[in-house]
């Protein structure tokens, strides 16, 4: 189940952002590291087939690739096109003007986020 706290990313409707993991089942060895490492509940484990499954793709944090980085067989990916995940993340940031939104958020949350020596 998608969790309401993940419905927006920098004020942008998460449904408008193409970022979610895809598992190549032929590569998945069923270790479950992605399931047990993801704090957002993107994955569940199919105990019968001994494979991880993406069940809540919109819970995935945009640009997070921790599961793919941890996967020992490279079974998890975020892109189908001929681009790296970093390039895709940067394209999303540019297209959705996330830098402007981040600057606005910094100003709104200045007292909370300000670093003091």
Contact 73, 28 (CB under 8 A): yes
Asked whether residue 109 carries a pLDDT value surpassing 90, the answer given is yes
Please, what are the domains in the chain? Answer: 4-113 (3.30.70.20)
| Bridge partners of residue 44, in order along the sequence | 53
Q: How confident is the model over 38-76, as pLDDT tens digits?
A: 999 999 999 999 999 999 999 999 999 999 999 999 999
Contact 79, 89 (CB under 8 A): no
Cβ of 95: how many Cβ atoms within 10 Å?
11
What percentage of the chain exceeds 90 in pLDDT? 89
Q: Which of 5, 17, 22 is nearest to 78 (CA)?
A: 22
Asked whether residue 79 carries a pLDDT value surpassing 90, the answer given is no
Cβ of 75: how many Cβ atoms within 10 Å?
22
Asked whether residue 4 carries a pLDDT value surpassing 90, the answer given is no
User: 51-57: which pairs have CB atoms within 8 A and are 24 or more residues apart?
Assistant: 51/23, 51/25, 52/23, 52/28, 53/23, 54/20, 54/21, 54/22, 54/23, 56/1, 56/2, 56/3, 57/20, 57/21
Average pLDDT of the chain, as a whole number = 94
pTM of the predicted structure, to 2 decimals:
0.86
Asked whether residue 8 carries a pLDDT value surpassing 90, the answer given is yes
């Amino acid at each position: 189940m998608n969790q309401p706290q993940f419905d927006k990313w920098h004020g942008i409707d998460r449904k408008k952002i193409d970022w979610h993991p895809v598992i190549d089942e032929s590569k998945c060895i069923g270790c479950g590291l992605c399931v047990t490492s993801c704090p957002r509940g993107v994955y569940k484990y199919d105990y019968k087939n001994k494979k991880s499954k993406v069940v809540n793709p919109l819970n995935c944090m945009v640009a997070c690739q921790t599961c793919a980085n941890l996967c020992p067989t490279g079974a998890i990916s975020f892109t189908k096109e001929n681009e790296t995940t970093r390039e895709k993340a940067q394209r999303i940031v540019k297209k959705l003007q996330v830098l402007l939104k981040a600057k606005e958020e910094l100003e709104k949350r200045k007292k909370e986020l300000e670093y003091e020596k």
